[in-house]
Amino acid sequence: MKYKEIFMERAIQLAKNGLGFTSPNPMVGCVIERNGIVLSEGWHYKKEIYHAEFLAINNVKNKYLFFDSTLYVTLEPCVHFGETPPCVDLIIRNNIPKVVVGIQDPCDKVKGLGIKKLRKYGVEVIENVLIDQCRILNKRFFTFHEKKRPYIILKWAESNDGFIHSENNKGHWISGIYARQLNHKWRSEEDGILVGRKTVLNDNPKLNVRKWFGKNPVRIFIDRKLSISNSHFILDGTQYTIVFTEKNKENQENIEYVQISFEEKIINQILNFLYKKKILSLIVEGGKKTLENFIKENIWDECRIFVCDIVLKSGLKAPKIEGIVSKKMNLNKDQLIMKLSI
């Protein structure tokens, strides 16, 4: 492996520290190297905080060391003023002669303009180093800007004989404790979590992060007739919640009611609204009808299925989904199967 791949791999590793905290910004890692030795490192901690390049550059006290250094960054440096100043200007101002970029930024405000400006000011730029890994790193960010919708993860647990639950097993877990803990970790990594009305009625879920450290996702559910009472956890106001309904209702504290047409494609209306809200990623946890609507419309990116060590014999059949199996792993007695959309 060459120097540029080694240091870019390290930059990717650093960037992953921001998972769950940077949205709607991308995860970015940066390494500054001189003669094969790392001068400095940085990553984007969370939105409204300085970018990876800024942190890495400002960690170096002796700026003369930059004159024969190389800066590695997983995503093209920004060229516009946002919550922080442009990283491109900082690189130029510090006389860093060479920049290695993992992948071009898909955002319309950047999209090659950062690289163009660096070259205009005499900076040597090498592009597309570990490009596939850098794209996977920011799969949510790329999907959001390219497809104008959140990155969608479908998730459910099913019995060993293919049922989501039996009629006398509503509201009870069929997955094990390790699967449930992993599910809470996943929640902390995504912007939103969506369920249908029946899931709220049957399970009364909290849809928060309790078994892992991290932020709670935005709770989102579909309630056409507003039949869910305030006694349910999802309407307790403890975290921001979006309700999609055909009714016209005033917002309450931490609860936003969004009126949509149930005579048209519901999913498209929901995703268009979430896009405007800058929600980059969405976990769809149920119920069966809601999951199958996403599958039928072929609007999903990733699917995570727990096949659990329990036999129900009858009940509600689990959804069927095609896709490319990307990973299989065992969590105690449960098996996790992960698929990617074709």
Query: Which residue among 53, 76, 158, 302 is the active-site one?
Result: 53
DSSP H or E stretch at residue 182: helix 177-189
E strands, 196-240, where?
218-222
Only one residue has tokens 């098996």, namely 335
Only one residue has tokens 């929600």, namely 279
Confirm whether 189 is a catalytic residue: no
- Cα separation, 178 vs 331, in Å, equals 6
Q: How many CA atoms lie within 13 A of 16 on its CB side?
A: 11
Tokens of 190: 């995504």
Only one residue has tokens 């599910």, namely 183
Please classify residue 169 by burial: count the beta carbons closer than 10 Å to its beta carbon, then call 0-12 exposed, 13-18 middle and 19+ buried: middle
E strands, 107-196, where?
124-126, 151-158, 163-165, 192-195
Give, in order, the Cα–Cα distances in Å from 175 to each of 171, 255, 292, 317: 12, 30, 21, 16
Q: How many CA atoms lie within 13 A of 238 on its CB side?
A: 12
Amino acid making up residue 59: N
- Cα separation, 334 vs 4, in Å, equals 40
DSSP summary character for residue 46: S
Q: Which residues contact 116 (CB under 8 A, 6 or more apart)?
A: none
Pick the closest to residue 191 from 283, 267, 258, 266 (CA basis): 283
The catalytic residues are 53
